[in-house]
Amino acid sequence: MKENRLLKNKLYLYMTEFFAGVSVMAVELGASRLLAPYFSSSQIVWTIIIGTIMIAMALGNIWGGRTADRNPDPGKLYARLIIAAVWIGCIPLVGKYVIIGISGLLVLAVNTNYLIAAAFASCMVIFVFPLFLLGTVTPSLVKYTMGSMEDSGRTVGRLEAFNTVGSIIGTFLPTFVTIPTVGTSVTFLIFSGVLLILGIVYFIAEGTRMWLCAGSAAALIVCSVLGHSDSFAFWETNLLYEGESIYNYLQVGENERSVYLSTNVLFGVQSVAMKDGGLTGMYYDTALAAPLMCADPEEPDILVLGMGSGTFSTLCGKYYPGSDVSGVEIDEDITRLAHEYFGLPDTVRVTTYDGRAYLAADKGKYDVIMVDAYQDITIPFQMSSVEFFTLVRDHLEPGGVMVVNLNMANGGDGSINAYLCDTISSVFRNVMTSDVRGTTNRVLFASEEPIGFTVPTETGDFAYEERMMSVMSSLEPHYDGGLRFTDDRAPVELLGIRMIDSLISDELAYYKNIFAEKGLGGLIGEITG
């Protein structure tokens, strides 16, 4: 076999290993951002992604080594790189439709663990094949670069070094540069292009398979033109904004009465603000009772951990005009959207930081601390432990109140809510809860002092007064059941996904009944109509 002049000094083979390492990690991180809007960014989803990709890579390693031994032709490897590149380039164009299609099919087939099954199936269909092909790179290059057994250690070590350095760059580059700058879709296209160039340059130097080069380049161009959009909720028509930050997929929509923020596709609304500036009908209204429970309801100092769109802060400013409100939000893009679309006042000070880390460094004390960092099943474990709530308690003024939005339905003993309530009860002497009407949310109030209530009167806002009286009448004391989250052990993802799965199962039962009664046509009509 005539040797390709590009490979005479083996540098191109080492560069192939380097860029393969870059691309594998970039695709893995891109996978997390592609799946997160539909299935959350929890540790469970990450586990599915990593496990699936490692299985694909391992199988690719085995097959790649065998094929290289049977036919040590570098052209075979570079053809696989081109195929992998085109496949990855197609992900922005068809990936979201594949996820929705798989999720729809599983509605009829899965009774439990729906999210896990849908995430796993989506990952298998979309990512296994190209990562399998990329898994063939290292064993193939070992075969092509090794001159003799005398230099085998040095050769393999050099290849692994190039792969490792590439993987490091492939970890940082998408996270800090491409995804926040140009989005997930373009990130896939960029690294697809890198792999494609590797293959095309090889075949141009060899002077063969020009048809493969031309066809693959044309396919990537088509994918780039048609698939560069970062829209995940492609069926939505009333969006004011859709984009990505370092931490989240972000979606701002509106209807006749409100503006809302969502950080995912499948789990609905995370934040809402009414266009008339009034009460929302959500947990914010219940949480507004917290200043009435503290020692200084007229001029409370309020800290919000998990500022989000600033709805709670804005309402505090309206109903407690003497209040001093500040907040902590880890995602500065959400803060930007809060000012742009949700009317967050400039008087509200927002620090871009992790909530717990902020408390650890903060020397201030507050009358009210609102903990609103819990989102679908992605509850940060470090903000659910005994140690965290102890830190919150230490930052409260005498008679101060912590208010927590528990955004999961009460699942009884052993549920995530039971764990959170018991954990808080181990730190605070007095804990009371109130269910939010018409939602799965529960709001918890905790204080070292007995929780009193200053009844609002003559505010001029009957809806607010009525809501506060309703909260007062619905408060229930919580009695510690002995369950604990600690920094060492806080299985919040497992408990959260169990609760979400229960909620989804209840919802899916409705559609399964329609399918059983009216067939597929009736089901489609129900969903689309």
**Model confidence pLDDT, tens digit, residues 62-87:** 999 898 888 888 889 999 999 999 99
Clarify whether residues 320 and 391 are in a common domain: yes
Catalytic (active site) residue 372: yes
343 in the same domain as 196: no
Could you read off the pLDDT of 141-189 as tens digits, one per residue? 888 877 555 666 777 888 889 999 999 999 999 988 998 888 888 999 9
Q: Is residue 1 scored above 50 in pLDDT?
A: no
Q: Give the CATH number of the domain where residue 361 resides.
A: 3.40.50.150
Highest mean pLDDT among 298-307, 435-444, 461-470: 298-307
Domain assignment present for 266: no
- Asked if 474 and 19 touch (Cβ cutoff 8 Å), the reply is no
In a domain, 250, yes or no: no
Which of 372, 376, 422, 501 is an active site residue? 372
* One domain for residues 331 and 194: no
Q: List the domain range (segments joined by +) for residue 528.
A: 501-529
Q: Which pTM was predicted?
A: 0.80
515 is written with which tokens? Answer: 């399918």
524 or 296, higher pLDDT:
296
**How many domains does the chain divide into?**
3
Residue 256 lies in a domain: no
3-state secondary structure string across 380-417? CHHHCCHHHHHHHHHCEEEEEEEEEEECCCCCCCCCHH
Per the domain annotation, does 334 fall within a domain?
Answer: yes
Tell me, yes or no, whether 453 and 513 share the same domain.
Answer: no
Q: Considering all CA atoms of the chain, what is the largest pairwise distance in Å, rounded to the nearest integer?
A: 93
Q: How far apart are CA 164 and CA 159, in angstroms?
A: 9
Q: Are 429 and 523 members of one domain?
A: no
Strands, sheet with 396-406, edge to edge from the N-terminal-most edge strand: 349-351, 324-328, 301-305, 366-371, 396-406, 442-447, 430-435, 476-477
Residue 262 lies in a domain: no
Note whether 421 and 524 are same-domain residues.
no
Claim to verify: residue 484 and residue 507 sit in the same structural domain: no
Whether residues 350 and 395 fall in one domain: yes
- Asked if residue 235 belongs to a domain, the reply is no
CATH number at 55 reads 1.20.1250
Same domain, yes or no: 65 and 198: yes
363 shares a domain with 324: yes
Do 457 and 517 fall within a single domain?
no
Assess if residue 26 is contained within a domain.
Answer: yes
**Residue 243 in domain:** no
Do 476 and 505 have their domain in common? no
How far CA 325 is from CA of 113, 124, 315, 394, 488, in Å, comes to: 41, 46, 10, 18, 32
